[in-house]
Chains A and B, each alone.
Chain A
């Protein structure tokens, strides 16, 4: 069990850096700043940061959010298929790695708790940052509370069912 939990810690990071080559200097990181900027603009212009749009989704009263998430998955899946099919390499010339996310019961319990919070705040972690940037500065409070939530999980995760 403990070993499984240790593995879980290693894998719990949902967005690991799988690049072998070390990145150093501001220039190397600038590309991720632009990638984030690109994503942030879409979140605001697609109105995905809107609590009202999230309400439409949870009430089945608009196709907008289902269209956004559904088409994003389709495009993401096709892109990954193309990368694999043609063995497209990364900028550093490395093989593209897709990290497996093994099932654990946290997907259920954590998923449910996050869903409750998503309904309340109308924001997943990405939109929190974009909301603050778009001028809703009070969301800093929500973000700090989310950081506190993550910290609390880290403190007690060994006692939680996974």
Chain B
């Protein structure tokens, strides 16, 4: 059983289970699925600095912080008890395209040529950690949600704004992948 669970899960297992998170949270306590809100609650709880945007009853939303704590534990469980001993299987075309950009590690979920403590203080680290993280936090709040809040919860409930947001998430990703990564990785 454990061995079976330890293999990478195909999309038709992982996707439907992710979809079930929507009714799970609704039925557990009328919670709308979304994760980027947790970043806002952290700001409201720890660094409100008198800013209007962070003046709200964040304690009412503690469930969202508990949920992301669970996410952390889930990551821990999946990487220990359910660890996949095999390297990740990536499309050959992607390997080829990335190796032309200088990426050599295709064993790990996050290639060690870019991701790791040793890169944090380099120019690459500033782009991939600081700039990338900042855009994720700024952009999701500006967009009013992330992949979970818009692309899963929003699209599951047929919200036009979520369709617009999701299209632009993809446009941004295409721009990074095809125009910016060649600059960042060279």
Contact = CB atoms under 8 A, between A and B. Distances in A.
Contact of A113 (B35, B139, B145): B139
Interface in B100-125: 106, 109-111, 114-117, 119-120, 125
B97 interface: yes
A160 B37 CA distance: 19
Interface size grouping (class) on chain B: 35 or more
A132 B52 CA distance: 30
B91 A133 contact: no
Contact of A47 (B8, B70, B137, B162): B8
Interface in B123-182: 125, 127-162, 164-178, 180-181
A13 B181 CA distance: 31
Interface residues of A, number: 129
Interface of B: 5, 8-40, 42-43, 47, 49, 51-54, 56, 60-64, 66-79, 82, 84, 88, 90-91, 93-94, 97-98, 106, 109-111, 114-117, 119-120, 125, 127-162, 164-178, 180-181, 184
Interface of A: 9, 11-20, 23, 29, 31-59, 61-80, 82-83, 88, 90-92, 94, 96-104, 106-126, 128-139, 141-155, 157-158, 160
